[in-house]
């Protein structure tokens, strides 16, 4: 433990790539410092997962209520102002809560922008701090289109703080953020146009299920323009801004640039120290070590080839805890990491994808139309399809679902995929009934 240095481990950034590992390391008695330039907690709580889901859950409830209109009486519209106020109530206290937890464990929290000066030292303003090991966990930031009038566009952080929902919202991109925020804006009463780079949305998900979600959004009034060639944004008198395409102007009040996220690798001393990185992030080996001794990377900024999601950041920061405390010397062994798009209905998946399975004789795919299921019929789900992928020994190795309950279903069956449970082990699992869990495990 530190005697030569101020700290055993110093983390740059205070998101999930840091605090899920720094906390248990401090609990083991290590001397820890965390430097944060913005809000403690990073993207996920403040302007990512938690903030988004706080706005989205009322959207999903409203959609269910609309389908049950003759059973549940009352107004089924979103009050955006109240929705936003509720988000602030739930979210705004999180940085203090996380700071409190960190500081209660004697972790030194340093506010400011950190820069590496050598492989044991970080500077923040005029101060220097030394550490045996340094973890770079600086995350990603929104990519912004470099077109004429780009300052008229907004990013996901701006959208998550909108006090009023604009009348017309134009979303650029068709990835996670574009599809989730188009869903929210549409449900909150905005007229939504989505400008797609190519002709596919959510490329990493099963396209048949993505088409079902897009068709549903179209039925609700969302306009998708494929292969949109964006020339720029201009201020007009009769609308706030217009997006210029090759063959038309899209009149709009708000432009959300959701064209991806890029790693925070600039101005932190990587070039001076010769730390390798590219547009996917900082290069790390299978111990999350960079090419420079004592410096590691964790979370979104690390290029591990894994999905850049909160569960990945948590897994990586916890792995570094085990590595630094000597509990393991092994390489990081990523389990199957699930993912979900919080559209309504959601698309969630884990493990071997349907596409991969259909192109291999190693697997069989069993697909079920869940709208026929009595339990789903209660809430009148109109889009609910599930595919389970099995290997030759009938272990469940992958699952994809499109439905309102897709996230809960995939989370529930996760142990079967991650631990490759056999039929005897599965037989020992007794589920609550009726429940999404029992429904999901029944056909494994
Ligand atoms: C709109 C949105 C919705 C999302 N929804 C989901 C979801 O539903 N589920 C999910 O799993 N994932 C979601 N994600 C992704 C998830 O938020 C990230 O994977 C996760 O936050 C990564 O954590 P991190 O610690 O690696 O990075 P971050 O949380 O981004 O933390 C990095 C921190 O480093 C700080 N920093 C940067 N440079 C410096 C410096 N030089 N000095 C000091 N501090 C610095 C930053 O201020 C930031 O606080 C979403 C992301 C966005 C943008
Ligand atoms: N539910 C979740 O887990 C969740 C939700 C939001 C974000 N995230 C994380 O944040 C990351 C970033 O999300 P995102 O939606 O910004 O990125 P993304 O990579 O999912 O989507 C980016 C979209 O922008 C489009 N695009 C790229 N360049 C373009 C250009 N020049 N012009 C027009 N369109 C262009 C792409 O075709 C794509 O549709 C995700 O990959 C994910 O890791 C996760």
Domain 7-141+262-324: assigned CATH number = 3.50.50.60
Q: State the ipTM, two decimals.
A: 0.99
Average pLDDT per 10 consecutive residues for the chain, totaling 444 residues: 88 98 98 98 98 97 94 93 98 98 97 98 98 98 97 98 98 98 98 97 97 98 97 89 91 97 98 98 98 98 98 98 98 98 98 95 97 95 98 97 98 96 95 95 93
Domain-by-domain residue ranges, the chain? 7-141+262-324, 150-259, 345-442
| Same-fold call for 7-141+262-324 versus 150-259 | yes
Please name the residue that has the structure tokens 């269910």: 64
CA–centroid distance, 375 to ligand 1, in Å, is 37
pLDDT of residue 82: 98
Do strands 127-136 and 295-297 pair parallel, antiparallel, or not at all (unpaired)?
parallel
- Answer for the pair 63, 187: CB distance below 8 angstroms, yes or no: yes
Ligand 1 atom at minimal distance to the Cα of residue 177: 1
CATH, domain range 345-442: 3.30.390.30
Pairing of strands 241-245, 230-235: antiparallel
Residues with Cβ within 8 Å of residue 417, at least 6 apart in sequence: 336, 350, 351, 396, 397, 398, 399
Backbone angles phi, psi at 77, to 5 degrees: -105, 160
Pocket test residue of 56, 59, 175 for ligand 2, highest count of atoms within 8 A of CB:
175
Ligand 1 atom at shortest distance from the alpha carbon of 156? 1
- pLDDT at position 3: 79
- SS3 at position 80: helix
pTM: 0.98
Q: Which atom of ligand 1 is nearest the CA belonging to 52?
A: 3
* Ligand 2 lined by 258 (C-beta under 6 Å): yes
Q: Which ligand 1 atom sits closest to the C-alpha of 157?
A: 1
Mutate to test the pocket of ligand 2, among 177, 210, 258, 349 (most ligand atoms within 8 A of CB): 177
Which phi and psi angles does 400 have, rounded to 5°? -135, 135
Among 14, 21, 44, the mutation site with the greatest number of ligand 1 atoms within 8 A of its Cβ is 44
pLDDT of residue 1: 61
> Domain spanning 150-259: which superfamily?
FAD/NAD(P)-binding domain (3.50.50.60)
């Amino acid at each position: 433990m530190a005697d030569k240095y101020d700290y055993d481990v110093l983390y740059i950034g205070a998101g999930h790539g840091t605090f899920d590992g720094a906390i248990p390391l401090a609990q083991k008695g290590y001397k820890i410092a965390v430097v944060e330039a913005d809000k403690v907690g990073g993207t996920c709580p403040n302007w990512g997962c938690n903030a988004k889901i706080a706005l989205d859950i009322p959207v999903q409830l409203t959609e269910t209520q609309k389908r049950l209109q003759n059973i549940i009486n009352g107004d089924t519209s979103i009050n955006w102002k109240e929705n936003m106020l509720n988000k602030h109530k739930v979210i705004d206290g999180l940085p203090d809560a996380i700071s409190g937890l960190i500081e209660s464990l004697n972790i030194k929290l340093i506010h400011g922008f950190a820069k590496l000066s050598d492989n044991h030292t970080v500077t923040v303003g005029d101060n220097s701090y030394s550490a045996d090991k340094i973890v770079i966990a600086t995350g990603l930031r929104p990519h912004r289109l470099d077109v004429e009038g780009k300052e008229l566009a907004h990013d996901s952080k701006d959208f998550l703080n909108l006090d009023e929902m604009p009348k017309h919202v134009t979303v650029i991109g068709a990835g996670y953020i574009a599809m989730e925020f188009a869903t929210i804006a549409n449900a909150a009463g905005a007229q939504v146009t989505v400008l797609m780079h190519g002709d596919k949305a959510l490329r990493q998900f099963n396209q048949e299920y993505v088409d079902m979600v897009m068709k549903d959004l179209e039925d609700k009034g969302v306009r998708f323009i494929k292969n949109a060639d964006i020339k720029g944004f201009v201020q007009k008198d009769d609308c706030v801004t217009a997006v210029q395409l090759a063959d038309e102007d899209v009149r709009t009040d708000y432009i959300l640039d959701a064209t991806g996220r890029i790693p925070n690798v600039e101005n932190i001393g990587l070039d001076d120290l010769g730390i390798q990185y590219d547009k996917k992030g900082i290069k790390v080996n299978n111990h999350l070590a960079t090419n420079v001794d004592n410096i590691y990377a964790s979370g979104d900024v690390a290029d591990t080839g894994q999905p850049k999601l909160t569960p990945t950041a948590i897994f990586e920061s916890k792995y570094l805890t085990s590595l630094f405390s000597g509990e393991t010397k092994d390489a990081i062994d990523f389990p199957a990491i699930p993912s979900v798009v919080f559209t309504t209905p959601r698309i969630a998946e884990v493990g071997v994808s349907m596409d991969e399975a259909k192109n291999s004789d190693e697997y069989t795919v069993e697909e079920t139309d869940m709208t026929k299921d009595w339990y789903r019929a209660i809430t009148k789900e109109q889009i609910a399809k599930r595919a389970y992928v099995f290997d030759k020994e009938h272990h469940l190795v992958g699952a994809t679902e499109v439905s309102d309950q897709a996230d809960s279903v995939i989370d529930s069956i996760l142990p079967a995929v991650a631990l490759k449970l056999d039929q005897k082990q599965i037989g020992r699992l007794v589920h609550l009934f009726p429940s999404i869990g029992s429904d999901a495990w029944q056909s494994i």
